[in-house]
Amino acid sequence: MAFDVSHEYVNIPKDEYDELLQKLKAAEVEKNKLARELRTIIKRNEIDKLNIETHAALNKIITGEKQKQEMYVRLLLESCPDPMFIFDDAANFLLGTRSTRSIIGIDDISILQGRKLDSIVERYCPPVFTEELTSLVKESIFSESGTKGKKYIEVSTETSKYQVTILPFDKDDGEFAGVLVIMHDITELMRSKEIAEQASIAKGEFLSRMSHEMRTPMNAIIGMTNIAKNSHDAEKKEYCLDKIAGASRHLLGVINDILDMSKIEANKLELSSDTFVFENMLMDVTNVINFRVEEKNQTFVVTLDDTIPEHIHGDELRLAQVITNLLTNATKFTPEGGTITLHAKNIPDPENGPMLQIEVADTGIGISPEQQSRLFTSFEQADGGTARKYGGTGLGLAISRRIVELMGGKIWIESELGHGARFIFTIRYEPGDAKPRVKRVVSKDGVRILAVDDSPEVREYFTDIMPSLGLPCDVAADGYEALHLLQNQSNNPYTIFFIDWQMPHMNGIELTREIKKITMDNAIIIMISVAEWSDIEAEATQAGVDRFISKPLFPSILQNCINECTTPSLEETGLQQTAILQNNRNYHGQTFMVAEDVEINREIIKEILEGTGAAIVFAEDGREAVTMFAEQPDKYDLILMDIQMPEMDGYEATRIIRSSDCAAAKTVPIVAMTANVFREDVERCLAAGMNSHIGKPIDADMLYKTLGSCLSPKATGADFR
- Residues lying near ligand ADP in the complex (CB under 6 A): 325, 329-330, 333, 362, 364-365, 367, 375, 381-382, 386, 392-398, 421
What is d(CA 264, CA 399) in angstroms, rounded to the nearest whole number? Answer: 8
Closest CA to 117 of 77, 88, 145, 143: 88
Q: What is the amino acid identity at position 32?
A: N
405 vs 597 by CB, closer to ligand ADP: 405
178 vs 253 by CB, closer to ligand ADP: 253
| Nearest approach, Cβ of residue 707 and ligand ADP (Å) | 34
* Contact (CB, 8 A) for 206 and 379: yes
| Nearest approach, Cβ of residue 695 and ligand ADP (Å) | 21
What b/e string do you get for 675-710 counting C-beta neighbours within 10 Å, with b at 16 or more?
A: ebeebebbebbeebbbbbbbbbebeeeebbebbbeb
| Nearest approach, Cβ of residue 367 and ligand ADP (Å) | 5
393 vs 691 by CB, closer to ligand ADP: 393
Q: What is the amino acid identity at position 174?
A: G
* Contact (CB, 8 A) for 139 and 156: no
Sign of CA dihedral 126, 94, 119, 173: positive
| Nearest approach, Cβ of residue 319 and ligand ADP (Å) | 16
What is d(CA 383, CA 402) in angstroms, rounded to the nearest whole number? Answer: 22
213 vs 478 by CB, closer to ligand ADP: 213
What is d(CA 485, CA 519) in angstroms, rounded to the nearest whole number? Answer: 13
Phi, psi of 431 (to 5 degrees): -65, 135
92 vs 363 by CB, closer to ligand ADP: 363
154 vs 295 by CB, closer to ligand ADP: 295
| Nearest approach, Cβ of residue 358 and ligand ADP (Å) | 14
* Contact (CB, 8 A) for 153 and 183: no
Task: State how far the alpha carbon of 212 is from the alpha carbons of 142, 199, 332, 380, 393, in Å.
Answer: 61, 19, 18, 16, 10
257 vs 279 by CB, closer to ligand ADP: 257
| Nearest approach, Cβ of residue 389 and ligand ADP (Å) | 9
| Nearest approach, Cβ of residue 377 and ligand ADP (Å) | 9
Task: State how far the alpha carbon of 160 is from the alpha carbons of 9, 154, 196, 197, in Å.
Answer: 43, 11, 18, 19
| Nearest approach, Cβ of residue 325 and ligand ADP (Å) | 5
Q: Give the rounded distance of the alpha carbon of 484 from its chain centre.
A: 53
| Phi-psi map region of 237: left, alpha, beta (phi>0 left; psi -120 to 50 alpha) | alpha
DSSP 3-state helix, strand, coil percentages of the chain (rounded to 5)? Answer: 50, 20, 30
166 vs 398 by CB, closer to ligand ADP: 398
| Nearest approach, Cβ of residue 393 and ligand ADP (Å) | 4
Sign of CA dihedral 72, 75, 76, 77: positive
Q: What is the amino acid identity at position 235?
A: E
What is d(CA 40, CA 46) in angstroms, rounded to the nearest whole number? Answer: 8
97 vs 325 by CB, closer to ligand ADP: 325
Maximum CA pair distance of the chain? 146
List CB contacts of 635: < 8 A, sequence separation 6 or more.
Answer: 591, 617
| Nearest approach, Cβ of residue 201 and ligand ADP (Å) | 18
| Nearest approach, Cβ of residue 214 and ligand ADP (Å) | 13
168 vs 364 by CB, closer to ligand ADP: 364
206 vs 333 by CB, closer to ligand ADP: 333
Q: What is the 3-state secondary structure (H, E, C) of 139-198?
A: HHHHCCHHHCCCEEEEEECCCCEEEEEEEEEECCCCCEEEEEEEEEECHHHHHHHHHHHH
329 vs 529 by CB, closer to ligand ADP: 329
| Nearest approach, Cβ of residue 248 and ligand ADP (Å) | 18
What is d(CA 497, CA 500) in angstroms, rounded to the nearest whole number? Answer: 10
